[in-house]
Amino acid sequence: MKIAIIGTGNLGLSIAKGLVINNTYTTLYLTKRNLDTLSNWKEYKNVTLTKDNSKALSNADIIIFAVQPSQFDAILNEIKPILNDKHVLISTITGYTIGRMETQIGNQYPIIRAMPNTAISVGKSMTCLCNNVVGKKSLPIAEAIFNGLGTTLTIDENHMQAATVLCASGIAFWMRLIRATTQGGVQLGFDADVALQMSMQTAMGAASLLIETGTHPEEEIDRVTTPRGCTITGLNEMEHQGLSSSLIKGLNASFDKINEIAKQ
Ligand SMILES: NC(=O)c1ccc[n+]([C@@H]2O[C@H](COP(=O)([O-])OP(=O)(O)OC[C@H]3O[C@@H](n4cnc5c(N)ncnc54)[C@H](OP(=O)(O)O)[C@@H]3O)[C@@H](O)[C@H]2O)c1
């Protein structure tokens, strides 16, 4: 695959690392305005660093955009004259709709929106994808790229805001849960670093149980809650204090906010 990443900042760099590790490209162009931060990429075989987005586009088929939303209009205008029917466009730009892209460049190009989360930097991103009509046949390309950096799900574009809350903001929500259980562990007598390790591994174990066995969370809860035992006592106290309710309310508040921001 001949790939160009337009805007090699935090996210672009994580994607580039994944492409190298998974050996996904034949040619890779990385663009940004200040190339100094990419100096250690000069030695990579078949990787070209450039400030020239047009040059990158001319030499690649799959174009991954990872600039800030405010920078994207200008870049689409810049590259519009060079676009041709070999190009597949993958945008990671939060909140920038396919319709808005099509208004800028037309609806004849395959467009895929990808919403990864920051776990992409360790190859564990939950990445949601959606596509325009022409982009349907190019979805496997985006899946191949992002499955190498975690897991992908294809969803309707009108669910992209909700997916952003659940998966991208979700990283912060889960971090807070891990932090809170760590604080509880310290109160129970563990040093902070030990408690953190216990919390992290337990969270990973819980998720892995569901992923690998396909069981429902309540089934796993039933397995560890003995009648009159300590687990059900703790769990019910957490629910009396509003654990599930506060998480659901938080997700809804976050969703309201993202919709409000999108309207501005
Ligand atoms: N970080 C995440 O995990 C994540 C997750 C989901 C979606 N996103 C989305 O991904 C996009 C990028 O996020 P980020 O955190 O990676 O931002 P970032 O670190 O600011 O990276 C943006 C990059 O774009 C480059 N750039 C700006 N104008 C350019 C131009 N005209 N031509 C070429 N490159 C240009 C910048 O280069 P210079 O530094 O040289 O100016 C910078 O390296 C955002 O739209 C964000 O909403 C990010």
Residue ending a domain, choose from 139, 155, 171: 155
**Hey, what are 27's tokens?**
């040619």
Residue ending a domain, choose from 119, 137, 155: 155
Tell whether 11 and 104 lie within a shared domain: yes
How would residue 194 be classed by pLDDT, with cut points 50, 70 and 90?
very high
Tell whether 23 and 42 lie within a shared domain: yes
CA of 37 relative to ligand 1 center, distance in Å: 13
DSSP string, 107-153: SSS-EEEEE--GGGGGT-EEEEEEE-TGGGGGHHHHHHHHHTTEEEE
Tell whether 211 and 251 lie within a shared domain: yes
Type of residue found at 250: G
Residues in the ligand 1 pocket, defined by CB under 6 Å:
6-12, 31-34, 53, 66-69, 71, 75, 92-94, 115-118, 168
Looking at every residue in the chain, the average pLDDT score rounds to 96
User: Per-residue pLDDT for 206 more than 90?
Assistant: yes
Radius of gyration of the chain (CA): 22
How many helices and strands (H and E) does the chain possess?
11, 8
Tell whether 77 and 170 lie within a shared domain: no
The mean per-residue pLDDT over the stretch 219-225 comes to 98
The Cβ of residue 124 has, within 10 Å, a number of other Cβ atoms equal to: 13
CA of 210 relative to ligand 1 center, distance in Å: 33
User: Per-residue pLDDT for 2 more than 90?
Assistant: yes
User: Per-residue pLDDT for 264 more than 90?
Assistant: no
Question: Could you tell me what percent of the chain has a pLDDT over 90?
Answer: 95
Least confident window among 117-121, 140-144, 159-163, 239-243: 117-121
Tell whether 77 and 104 lie within a shared domain: yes
pLDDT of 147 reads 96
User: Per-residue pLDDT for 82 more than 90?
Assistant: yes
Domain count, the chain: 2
| Structural domain containing residue 37 | 2-155
The mean per-residue pLDDT over the stretch 12-37 comes to 94
pLDDT of 262 reads 84
The mean per-residue pLDDT over the stretch 147-156 comes to 96
Q: Are 83 and 93 in contact (CB under 8 A)?
A: no
CATH number at residue 95: 3.40.50.720
CA of 8 relative to ligand 1 center, distance in Å: 6
The mean per-residue pLDDT over the stretch 43-52 comes to 94
Q: Is 64 helix (H, G, I), strand (E, B) or coil?
A: strand
Tell whether 48 and 119 lie within a shared domain: yes
pTM: 0.93
Tell whether 151 and 168 lie within a shared domain: no
**CA nearest ligand 1 atom 21, residue:** 9
CATH number at residue 216: 1.10.3730.10
Q: Is 256 helix (H, G, I), strand (E, B) or coil?
A: helix
**Hey, what are 62's tokens?**
């799959």
The interaxial angle of helices 69-79 and 98-105, nearest 10 deg, is 30
The mean per-residue pLDDT over the stretch 53-60 comes to 97
